[in-house]
Structures are given as structure tokens and as C-alpha cells.
Structure 1
Amino acid sequence: MKIQAAVLREMTDAHPFAVSQPLKIEELDLDPPGPGEVLVKMKAAGLCHSDLSVITGVRPRPVPMALGHEASAEVVEVGSGVTDLRTGDLVVLVFVPSCGHCLPCMEGRPALCEPGAATNTLGELLSGQRRLRDKAQAVHHHLGVSAFADHAVVSRRSCVKIEADIDPVEAALFGCAVLTGVGAAVNTAEVKAGTTAAVLGL
């Protein structure tokens, strides 16, 4: 299918971005979902500093790349092997797909999934595939999501099903901003109920 997506073709820190325009809205070809994958229609996407870090080259990634990773979406179609999601389900997309089989995943630390981190760095889905194309050229996925688009194909392991009555705009924040903030507070700082804490840079 044809989709519209924000594509980065060259990393740059040339300011102002309003002039250099490193992201361009382009028409891309999106292949159907493969085994263990899901076609989603974006409902909302947030702009994260990680997106900016890819644009400026602070976090180098292969280009061309369709950016965006903090999002909520509606399931449109599921690939073979996906039995727990259905058309119309609302999902939050997460920036590290968890394979469920590597040591960090088995230890209950899916955010440190080794195959997920490896495929994210390469601009692939967890399957090792790319479903985005510009004519014959592959376009890389950003963190397995590429949320700055009207549709995307993602790994089932990048989707967390949520209730249909949750505001999709608020839900999008859980894909990264809430996930990292809560993770830092609960797992790293070990903030407990009743604790007083200072929050910097909110």
C-alpha cells in the first residue's frame, strides 16, 4: 500500500530546521505484515528527543529512515501467527520489541532485549525484515515503529494492547515518555510510595 511518512535521508544539525528541513513528507510503499507482524493505522505520535538525536547524528542510524517511535495506533491487519490482536484493537507501540527468549527477556527485563536492540540499530523489524520501500530502495524503520506515518508495519512484540476507551493522544506517551520516566523512578531511583522527590527537566 502507499503511505505518507516523514523520511530522514541525511543526518544534519544545520539550524534552523525550519530552513534545512531534514525531514520530508514522502510517499512510500508499505508491504503487508509478515509472520508475527501487524499493520497499524497511527492514532497519535509524540516527538521525542531520540528522534532529534537521530536527525542530528548524535545517535547515528542508517538512512533513509522513516522516523517516530512514541505512538498509539489501531490494528488494521495481522500477519500469520498473531492470534491475540484483532482488527480495531487499540495498541501502544513500544520502542524496544522484546523477543521473549534472550537472557534479559527471560529475566523480566524486556527493555534490554538483545535481538530487539540489534534490529533497532540496523533499522529493521524484530524479524530482520524491512517493510518500507521507496521504489526499489529499502527505507529503514526507526526503533521498529516509524510512527511519523499514517500507517506502519510493526512486530507484534512492539504492540501493547490497551482498552478502547483510553485517549489515544495520552496513550501515545506511554510508548516512550512514560515508559522511560516511570522506569527511571521505579527501577533506578527506587522511588517508593510516600517518598518526596524532585523532578528536573519535566
Structure 2
Amino acid sequence: MKTEIALLREMGARRPYTDSRPLEIVEAELDEPGSGEMVVRMAAAGLCHSDLSVINGDRPRDMPVALGHEASAVVESVGPNVTRFQPGDHVVLIFAPSCGHCVPCAEGRPALCEPAAAAAGRGSLIGGGKRISRNGETINHHVGVSAFSRHAV
């Protein structure tokens, strides 16, 4: 499906960002959700210092990336093996997902989930995939959320 994203192509833009305009609103292609995933329509997103730290390069990420990691949304569709949610449900997106199986998860510390941290560093979802592209170019997810988008997986 088509969606709009706030795309960051390179880090290190000069300030003020109202002049350098490091984010570009573009149309992108969003793949269908994979197993355990769902498509959501953003209702609200917050701009946080972590987003600004990616823009200025203090928190390096692979480029290009669809930024944003704090949001609420409405479920549009669900992929295979999604049983807890259905279209129309209101959800809050979390930038620290957990696998439930690694040592930190098993010890009750899901915010320290190792597979989730690795996925965030790769710009992918916790399941390993990337679902955003533009003109054949794969776009990285920002910590698995990409909240500065109309829709996301």
C-alpha cells in the first residue's frame, strides 16, 4: 500500500532545522504485515530528543530512515498469527519490544531485550524484516516504529 513518511536521508543537518529541513515528506510503499505484525494508521506521534539525536548524528542509524518512535495508532489490518488485535483496535506503539525468550526477557527485564536492540540497530522490525520502500530503495525503520508516517507495520 502507499503511505507517506518523514524520510531522513542523511544525518548532520545544520540548525535550525526549520531552515535546513532534514526531513522530507514523501510517498512510500508499505509491504503487507508478516507473521505477528500488523498495519497501523497513526493517530498521534511525539517528537522526542532521541529523534533529534538521529537527525544531528549523535545517535547514528543506517540511512535512509523513516523517523519517529513515540505514537498511538489504530490497527488497520493484521498479519498471520496475530490473535490479540483486530482492525479498529487502538494501540500505543513501543520502541522497546521484547521477544520473550532471550536472557533479559526471561529474567523479567523485557526493555533490555537483546533481539530487539539488534533489530533497532539494523533498522528492521524485531522479526527481521523491513517493510518500507521507495522507488525500489529499502527504507530503514526507526527502532521498529517509524511513527512519522501515515501508516506503518
Same fold (TM over 0.5): yes
Choose 12-21 or 136-145, whichever is displaced more.
Answer: 12-21
Runs of 4+ in 1 over 6 A off after TM superposition: none
Shift, 1:16, TM fit: 1.5
CA distance in structure 2 between the aligned counterparts of 1:32 and 1:133, rounded to whole angstroms: 12
Question: Do structure 1's residue 38 and structure 2's residue 38 form an aligned pair?
Answer: yes
Task: Trace 1:38-77 onto structure 2 (pairs within 5 A).
Answer: 38-77=38-77
In structure 2, what is the equivalent of residue 141 of structure 1? 141
TM-score (norm 1): 0.75
Shift, 1:3, TM fit: 0.5
Task: Trace 1:4-153 onto structure 2 (pairs within 5 A).
Answer: 4-153=4-153
The alignment's C-alpha RMSD in Å is 0.7
TM-score (norm 2): 0.98
Specify the SS of the correspondent of 1:54.
Answer: helix
Shift, 1:82, TM fit: 0.6
CA distance in structure 2 between the aligned counterparts of 1:135 and 1:15, rounded to whole angstroms: 29
Letter of the structure 2 residue corresponding to residue 146 of structure 1: S
Specify the SS of the correspondent of 1:43.
Answer: strand
Gaps of 5+ in 2: none
Letter of the structure 2 residue corresponding to residue 19 of structure 1: D
Specify the SS of the correspondent of 2:32.
Answer: coil
Q: Write the deviation string for residues 54-89 of structure 1: whole angstroms up to 9, x where unpaired.
A: 001100000100000100000111110111111111
Q: Write the deviation string for residues 41-63 of structure 1: whole angstroms up to 9, x where unpaired.
A: 00100001000000011000001
Shift, 1:13, TM fit: 3.9
Higher helix fraction: Structure 1 or Structure 2? Answer: 1
Letter of the structure 1 residue corresponding to residue 150 of structure 2: D
Higher RCO, Cα 8 Å, sep 6+: 2
Letter of the structure 1 residue corresponding to residue 52 of structure 2: L
Specify the SS of the correspondent of 1:73.
Answer: strand
Letter of the structure 2 residue corresponding to residue 8 of structure 1: L
CA distance in structure 1 between the aligned counterparts of 2:55 and 2:123, rounded to whole angstroms: 14
Choose 111-120 or 5-14, whichever is displaced more.
Answer: 5-14
CA distance in structure 2 between the aligned counterparts of 1:123 and 1:76, rounded to whole angstroms: 23
